[in-house]
Chains A and B, each alone.
Chain A
Amino acid sequence: MTRPTPHQNTFPARNIGAWLLLAWAGLLILPWYKVEGGFFSFGWLADFAAHGPAVLRGLHDAPWLLPLALPLLAATWLWARRRTAGLAVAGGIALVWMAVEGLAIIHSGWGFGWLAALAGTKGPVQPGMGWGAVIYALSMLMLVAADFAGRGWCKGDRFVIGSLLIVIATLVIFVAYPLLSILSSAVRDNSGNFAPALFTQKLFDANIWSLDCLIGGNRCGVAWNTLFVAVLVGVLATALGLALALIALRTQIRAKWLLRGLSILPIITPPFVIGLALILLFGRAGMVTEFLSHHFGIPRSRWIYGVAGITMAQVLAFTPIAFLVLVGVLQGVSPSMEEASQTLRASRWRTFRTVTWPLIRPGLASAFLISFIESMADFANPLVIGGNYNVLSTDIFFAVVGAAHDQGRAAVLAIVLLVFTLAAFLIQRQWIGKRSYVTVGGKGDGGTPAPLPGGLRIGAYGIAVPWLVLTVVVYAIILIGGFVNQIGRDNTPTLQYFLTAFSVEKGVGGWFLSGSAWPSLTMTMTLALVSMPFTAAIGLLTAYLLDRQRFAGRALFEFLAMMSFAIPGTVVGISYILAFNVPPIQMTGTGLIIIISFVFRNMPVAIRAGLANLGQIDKSLDEASLTLGARSFATLRRVMLPLMKPAIVTAMIYSFVRAMTAVSAVIFLATGRFNLATVYIVGRADVGEYGIAIVYAAVMIVLMMIVLVGIQFFVGERSLGRRREGVDAMPIAA
């Protein structure tokens, strides 16, 4: 029996032909520019000349599009000669030219100030790119892949190279390009002129860096404010996380419910909800405040609005994340090491101090840095409970939405914030990652972990129990707070808020959703559902490339892919506004930009789920499939995908839930038409309508809980069955 003829030696004529055909279609038939009213309304067919394809527009009013035909002609010529060598040059030239003309000529004329100065005119104009451009660019990318494969890259596997190029291209467009847009607007004034002096002035602004508060002045710069809270939250959340992890794994409690509950909470809770609950407890009219002033005559005050409130809310919100990191680390400490120490006559305390502690120390640093990043990136809690205490993320927001509308300042603040979080991210990966001795999820080799020394156990309970109580109270407030008139003051039950938000009425045409929350809830669910499969697909594909393929620049690729984890949502929001408000890629005000922000915000979660799952699939399985004649795509489809079901399910659920609860990035992108649940809730809270905000938040939490628990129950137990650990061990960050 002989196998099909090797393909390196044969020219993949059909495949390349198909991409060429698509590229020609993109150039000759499809509307090159963005169609007002949407492509699928097909209005462009009626007005073919105005919304026409690149060639028509090129001959008519956009001559810079005509050169795009040249590389395509060259590629077609190569195809006719059955050659792949050279396709990369043709495709590369086409893509570079698209980028150049797209950035140089925008809706308002020349895209660069110096071009306008050079030409002395306002310059030609063009709208954002449309489907023709997208299809043309994608086809060109695939031609580049065919050339690389022909040269034997990635073992000559066109599928692998093609996927790699697509993932890189999307990362460049939706992660790197927006970040560069921030830089570019930071060095310009508000009318778009290059102004480096203004940049330095803004960067070293006293509002950001002042240390007045140390020497008796009334406030410090916003950067110091943010840093201070982040360090505080990092330390507290790590300490609490450690206490909880020790209790969960090293005491008799070994509470499964504790683990379960704490791993679910941060995912299902919209970030600002805890801030809201704290206001209802400790605010001027809060329950506890009422109680204290009524019974003990302690005067009401606004202490909670500010650094105290932000810190409390964030510690409550991020302790579960630190906990999950530390549980993973603690589970990785093999009990046999502790047993070895005990057989060497070390006391329990000595064992903990000399064996366990050094082993988990890198994990502690990790937990600290992750909480630190989360705190810096948190936008919603400072917004609802921050009072006059400014932090970077809220300042960025107010710089663009406020009366000031200073994009340059927003950009500078975003850069400062980004530098902080990326630095923490870098330290966490490069330094601690390499110093860590424990492999998370490593093989357990039996044995029982050493119980905690007595003093330590008491200490752990001492800090964990109050925190747990507060957490329970917070969630109770959220769940019931919306169903009483005014919690604390007037506890008569009412459905008033619930009905305002979620009533369903019978009207002329039948039942309809009349509650004020319905539009935003259905819109959020729609967008989250649409983003879900894309997030899972691109995340898992990336995980597959990272785990199973070797290629030059892999480390850089991994870094880029995971980096979006450390980009605060506010920075993403402002960067998307700056990058996608104007051609060449114009998307603001659409649902698409929200979906894309969901996809790239949540991609690292899918990557992690994929990596955890792939790590448990023996590499020799794919190799066996390869030696049996199945190529990488067939192997992926027939062997890997069925085995990656747990990761697929996990990635889908988590991306859905995270999309539902996201606020920081999308608050910049949501519009009247594309209003989102979280944005709506924050808006209600902002104007003091806590009843509706709380009811809505409670509904969201319950909804998310049902989704998570339901899916775990129905899909999880059965098909996730054997590979449970991979799913549970996945660290989650809100």
Chain B
Amino acid sequence: MNHTTGAMIGAIPAVRFEAVTKRYGQVVAVDHVGFDIAPGTLVTLLGPSGCGKTTTLRLIAGLEQASDGRILIDGTDVTALSAAERDVSMVFQSYALFPHMDVMENVSYGLRAMGLKKADAAARAAEKLALVGLSGYEKRQPSELSGGQQQRVAVARAIVLEPKVLLFDEPLSNLDAKLRRRVRDEIRGLQQDLSLTVVYVTHDQEEALAVSDRIIVMRSARVAQDGTPRELYNAPASRFVADFMGDANLLEATVGEHHSETAKVSVGPLSLDLPHRGIAPGPAALAVRPHSVRLTAGSAGRGGIEGQVTKAAYLGDHMEYMVATVSPKTEIFATAADVNRPHAVGADVAVHLDPESIVLVGND
């Protein structure tokens, strides 16, 4: 895996996974996963439900013990250590605030477990509460807080020990849609202000793109791709990543002979010159984002694919179309900014692809 970014050269990774595997009986939840996480960055584990994100996170926390492989935190092998002994904190999906303790007791819990005096613990806890904007809420019970406030308490409780790594498991999933964007930005802000190392789990690619320094895409217990948001979006390593990172249309294509950086790629009647990105000649796929598909009325001329509109939906600021094509035989999802002269269902259209925003991906 060669994803070493500039920031990491020479630095000891905050978290390092070396071929880590976690098995539950027959189920392999995490399969030979390896990655490095640079200190002070926010890295997202992204993937569909059940792909092993939470398990990976819990392996970092020490809530699960690896079946195989090594886990290093800040250069130290922690594979055999329990959660209580790792310098890692976690913000749980349910927040997991202790219901029998007030906000102050919750936040100072870790300090007290370390053996700090009550007054000292309270002083440091108050500091963190101020950081998340909850000064004055010390005596509240968790049940007397809104969802967003509960989450901030959970964050304060997690950062009070100034852990080497802070973990979030789908932190936005219990919030309503309006709050999500705000909380997301708050987490990112806090991470940047305090230079925290954060591992963040989500299944929402938009959220991942918005907050991450780096994204690790997972698929059925393995790492599918690991890179910056831009790399993942613009240069997905596989059909899966391309699809997952933004509803790409995947068109069957054939790669011809390579000419230095590019290759002739034929898709249906079209023949395009595209960067081959190391994909061998033979069958492959083209990832085409819906917004880079252009539809024109009438039958296709040169440079277009013939199709017929099967669905058209008006969404206020844009249109969404589904176009059935014969060669290649598929359905293409397209969006268009022009809402005033929509294509009707049943109309013949020509589908134009913008070579600049098409990516060639290998069959996987």
**Which A positions have Cβ atoms within 8 angstroms of B?**
1-4, 6-8, 152, 155-157, 618, 620-621, 623-632, 634, 638-639, 642-643
Task: Please report the number of residue pairs spanning A and B whose Cβ atoms sit closer than 8 angstroms.
Answer: 91
- Interface contact A629-B82, CB-CB below 8 Å: no
The residue in chain B whose Cβ has the minimal distance to the Cβ of A152 is B80
CB closest residue in chain B, given A635: B84
B89 touches A643 (CB 8 A): no
Across-interface contacts of A642 in B (CB, < 8 A): 100
| Cα distance A643–B81 in the bound complex, in angstroms | 27
Please indicate the chain B residues that have their CB under 8 angstroms from the CB of A155 in the complex.
65, 82
A residues less than 8 Å from B345 (CB atoms):
none
Are A156 and B82 in contact, CB atoms less than 8 angstroms apart? yes
Contact of B85 among A7, A624, A625, A639 (CB under 8 A): A7
Bound together, the chains give a CA A573 to CA B88 distance in angstroms of 53
Beyond A623-B96, A639-B98, whether A629 also contacts B161 by CB under 8 A is yes
Q: Is the CB of B90 closer than 8 A to any CB of chain A?
A: yes
Give 16 pairs: A residue, B residue, CB < 8 Å, sorted on A: A1-B114, A1-B162, A8-B82, A618-B96, A620-B92, A624-B97, A626-B62, A627-B62, A627-B63, A627-B89, A627-B90, A628-B110, A629-B113, A630-B110, A631-B82, A643-B99
Cα distance A303–B299 in the bound complex, in angstroms:
99
| CB neighbours of A634 from chain B (8 A) | 113
Residues of the B chain whose Cβ atoms lie less than 8 Å from the Cβ of A624 = 90, 92, 96-98, 157
The reply to whether the CB of B109 lies closer than 8 angstroms to some CB of chain A is yes
Residue B201 interfacial (CB < 8 Å): no
C-alpha gap A639/B97 in the complex (Å): 10
CA distance A71 to B93 in the complex (A): 49
With most chain B CB atoms within 10 A of its CB, the pick from A155, A618, A642, A643 is A155
B114 touches A621 (CB 8 A): no
Over the window 84-122 of chain B, the binary record of Cβ atoms lying under 8 Å from chain A Cβ atoms (1 yes, 0 no) is 111111101110111110000000011001100000000
Decide if B255 is an interface residue (CB 8 Å cutoff).
no
- How many residues of chain B have a CB within 8 Å of chain A? 31
Interface members, chain B 48-81 (any A CB < 8 Å): 61-63, 65, 80-81
- Which of B82, B88, B109 has most chain A Cβ within 10 Å? B82
* Minimum Cβ distance to chain A for residue B122 (Å): 16
* Residue of A with least CB distance to B76: A6
**Whole-angstrom distance between the Cβ of B14 and the nearest chain A Cβ:** 15
Does B113 lie within 8 Å of A620, measured CB to CB? no
A618-B96, A620-B92 are known contacts. Are A627 and B81 too (CB-CB below 8 A)? no
Across the interface, do A157 and B82 meet the contact criterion of CB distance under 8 Å?
A: yes
Q: Hey, which chain B residues are within 8 Å of A627, CB to CB?
A: 61-63, 83-84, 86, 88-90, 158
* A639 to B90 alpha-carbon distance, docked (Å): 17
4 cross-chain pairs, A with B, having the tightest CB-CB distances, nearest first: A628-B110, A620-B96, A626-B83, A630-B113
Is B81 within 8 A of A6, CB to CB? yes
Which among B80, B84, B99, B158 is the interface contact of A626 at CB below 8 angstroms? Answer: B84
Q: A8-B81, A156-B82, A623-B96 are in contact. Are A628 and B162 (CB under 8 A)?
A: no
Shortest CB distance B58–A (Å) = 8
Contact A628–B109 (Cβ < 8 Å): yes
A6 touches B85 (CB 8 A): yes
CB–CB B92/A3 < 8 A: no
- Structural contact, B94 and A618, CB atoms closer than 8 A: yes
> Bound state CA distance, A628 and B86, in angstroms?
9
A559 to chain B, nearest CB (A): 19
A4 touches B114 (CB 8 A): yes
**Cβ–Cβ contact A643 & B85, under 8 A:** no
CB contact between B80 and one of A8, A631, A638, A639 (< 8 Å): that residue: A8
Partner of A631 from the list B84, B90, B96, B158 (CB cut-off 8 Å) is B84
Interchain CA distance A634-B109 in the complex, whole Å: 11
Complex: A703 Cα to B84 Cα, angstroms: 47
Closest Cβ of chain A to B118, distance in Å, is 14
Known: A627-B89, A629-B113. A643 touches B100 (CB 8 A): yes
A157 CB contacts on chain B under 8 angstroms = 82
Which residues in B have their C-beta under 8 angstroms from that of A6? 81, 85
Query: Which chain A residues lie closer than 8 Å to B109 at the CB level?
Result: 625, 628, 630, 638
Q: Is the CB of B89 within 8 A of A628?
A: yes
Q: Which residue among A620, A628, A634 has the maximum number of chain B CB atoms within 10 Å of its CB?
A: A628
Which residues from A are CB-within-8-Å of B100? 642-643
User: What are the residues of chain A within 8 A of B162 when measuring CB–CB?
Assistant: 1
Contact partners of A628 in chain B: CB under 8 A: 89, 109-110, 113, 157-158, 161
Q: Quick one: which of B63, B81, B114 contacts A623, CB cutoff 8 A?
A: B63
Say whether A621 contacts B161, CB under 8 Å.
Answer: no
Complex interface: chain A residues within 8 A of B85 (CB): 3-4, 6-8, 629
Task: State the CA gap A1–B80 with chains docked (Å).
Answer: 21
Cα distance A167–B30 in the bound complex, in angstroms:
34
**Interface hits, B150-167 → A, CB 8 Å:** 157-158, 161-162
Using CB atoms, name the residue of chain B closest to A625.
Answer: B109
Are B87 and A2 within 8 A (Cβ)?
yes
User: Could you tell me the distance in whole angstroms from the C-beta of B96 to the nearest C-beta in chain A?
Assistant: 4
* Contact residues in A for B93 (Cβ distance below 8 Å): 620
Instruction: Determine the chain A residues whose CB is within 8 A of the CB of B98 once the complex forms.
Output: 621, 624-625, 639, 643
Contact A623 B113 (CB under 8 A): no
Bound CA–CA A632/B85 (angstroms): 11
B62 to chain A, nearest CB (A): 7
Q: How far is the CB of B75 from chain A (nearest CB, A)?
A: 14
CA distance A631 to B82 in the complex (A): 9
Nearest Cβ on chain B to A170's Cβ, whole angstroms: 27
B217 to chain A, nearest CB (A): 25
- Closest chain-A Cβ to B102's Cβ sits at a distance in Å of 13
Set of chain B residues within 8 Å of A7, measured between Cβ atoms? 85
